[in-house]
Amino acid sequence: MGLKETNKIDTNRYQLEILIEGEKFREALKEAYRKNGKKIAVPGFRKGKAPLHIIETYYGAEVFFEDALNLLYNDAVEGAIAESGLRVIDDKMDFDLVSISKEDGVDFKVSLTTYPEITLKQYKGLKAERPLVKVDAAEVNAEVKSLAERNARMVSVEDRAAKKGDSVVIDYLGSVDGVPFDGGKAEGQTLELGSGTFIPGFEEQIIGKKIGDEFDITVTFPEDYGEKSLAGKEAVFAIKLHEIKVRELPKLDDEFAKDASEFDTLKELKADLKKKALERKNKAADEAVENALVQQVVDGLEGEIPEAMFEHRLNQSVEDFAYRLQMQGMDIQTYLKYTNSSIEDFKKTFRPQAEMQVKYRLALEKIVELEAIKVDEAEVDAQFEKMAKDYGVEIERVKASIPASEIEKDIAVGKAIDFIKANAEITDEKPEAKPTEKKTAAKSEKAE
Q: What is the pLDDT of residue 91?
A: 63
Angstrom distance (rounded) from CA 116 to CA 108: 25
**For the residues of 116-129, what is the DSSP string, one character each?**
PP-EES--SS-EEE
Would you tell me which CATH number, out of the four given (3.20.20.450, 3.30.70.1050, 1.10.443.10, 3.40.50.300), belongs to the domain 2-114? 3.30.70.1050
CB 17 within 8 A of CB 83: no
- pLDDT score for 436: 59
In this prediction, residue 448 carries a pLDDT of 43
Q: How far is residue 233 CA from its own chain's centroid? A: 41
User: Which of 359, 354, 310, 313 lies closest to 120 in space, CA to CA?
Assistant: 359
Q: Is the pLDDT of residue 432 over 80?
A: no
More confident residue, 247 or 92: 247
- Over residues 330-345, the mean pLDDT reads 86
Instruction: Count other Cβ atoms within 10 Å, centred on residue 112.
Output: 22
What is the biggest distance separating any 2 CA atoms in the chain, rounded to whole angstroms? Answer: 119
Return residue ranges of the chain for CATH 1.10.3120.10. Answer: 266-428
Q: Check pLDDT > 70 for residue 336.
A: yes
Angle between helices 52-59 and 22-36 (to 10 degrees): 90
For the ranges 33-37, 420-424, 435-439, the lowest mean pLDDT is seen at 435-439
pLDDT, tens digit (0-9, with 9 covering 90-100), for 34-61: 888 878 888 888 787 888 888 888 888 8
User: Which pLDDT tens digit goes with each residue over 199-215?
Assistant: 999 999 999 999 999 99
- Beta-strand ranges (E) seen in 61-177 are 94-101, 105-113, 119-120, 127-130, 153-157, 167-176
pLDDT above 60 for 146 = yes
What is the predicted pLDDT for the residue at 41? 84
Q: Concatenated DSSP letters for 381-402?
A: HHHHHHHHHHHTS-HHHHHHHS
Instruction: Check residue 227 and give its pLDDT.
Output: 85
Report the CATH fold assignment for 153-248.
Chitinase A; domain 3 (3.10.50)
- For the chain, give every residue range classified as CATH 3.10.50.40: 153-248
For the chain, the helix, strand and coil percentages under 3-state DSSP, each to the nearest 5: 45, 20, 30
- How many angstroms from the chain centroid is the CA of residue 137? 36
How is domain 266-428 classified at the architecture level of CATH? Orthogonal Bundle (1.10)
**CA-to-CA distance for 274 and 143, rounded, in angstroms?**
9
Average pLDDT of the chain, as a whole number:
91
Looking at residue 40, its pLDDT comes to 83
Distance CA 369, CA 33 (A): 47
What is the predicted pLDDT for the residue at 198? 93
At 276, the pLDDT band (50, 70, 90 cuts) reads very high
CA distance 386 to 76: 36
pLDDT for the residue numbered 19: 97
Beta-bridged to residue 175, according to DSSP, are 180, 236
Span(s) in the chain for CATH 3.30.70.1050? 2-114
